[in-house]
Amino acid sequence: MQPTKKEYSDIPGTIVFDADQARMGYGINMFCMSLLKDENRKAFKADEAGYLKAYKLTPEQTEAVLKRQWNRMLELGGNIYFTAKLGATDGLSFQQMAAMMTGVTQQEYADMMLAGGRSPNGNRSKSEWKK
C-alpha cells in the first residue's frame, strides 16, 4: 500500500511520518520496538532473517533491515525513533546513524549540528513556496 500524495510530500530529503507511513510501517516498527528487550536483541543477532519472519514485513522492508538501509527503512514506513533501536542494537549512536543517513562523516554531521543544523533554504515544501 502506497501512501497518498500529501501537500508536504515534496520537502527535499524528508519523509513525514504520518498515518499512512504508520500503517505501511507497522511491522517494521513493531520489530524495532521488540529490540527493547535484551532477549529479543540476542535472538535477532543470532538469526536476523529468521527473527524477522515473526513480523509482517514486506520483502523490501526485510531487505532494508538486513542491509541496514536506514533511509530506505524510513521510506517504507519506519519511524526514526523506532529504527534507532536497531541502530542501538548494532552499537551505533543516533549521531552515527544520522551521519550515515545524510552521507557525511560523524564529525561532519556533528559540526553541522553545532553550527545550527541544515539550512532551511531549499529544504522546505515546494508547495509552500507557491503560497
How large is the average pLDDT for residues 44-49?
98
Q: Supply the pTM of this predicted model.
A: 0.82
Q: What is the DSSP letter of 124?
A: S
In whole angstroms, give the CA distance from residue 80 to residue 64: 14
Q: Please list, in sequence order, all residues whose beta carbon lies within 8 angstroms of the beta carbon of residue 51, skipping any fewer than 6 positions away.
A: 40, 43, 44
Reported as a single tens digit per residue, the pLDDT across 115-125 is 888 777 766 66
Query: Would you place residue 78 in the very low, low, confident or very high pLDDT band (cuts 50, 70, 90)?
Result: very high
Residue 118's alpha-carbon distances to 13, 16, 34, 38, in angstroms, are: 11, 17, 32, 35
Q: Please list, in sequence order, all residues whose beta carbon lies within 8 angstroms of the beta carbon of residue 65, skipping any fewer than 6 positions away.
A: 28, 31, 48, 52, 57, 73, 86
How large is the average pLDDT for residues 56-71?
96
How large is the average pLDDT for residues 99-109?
90
Kindly state the cell numbers that stand for 9. Answer: 510530500
Q: Please list, in sequence order, all residues whose beta carbon lies within 8 angstroms of the beta carbon of residue 97, skipping any fewer than 6 positions away.
A: 70, 83, 84, 87
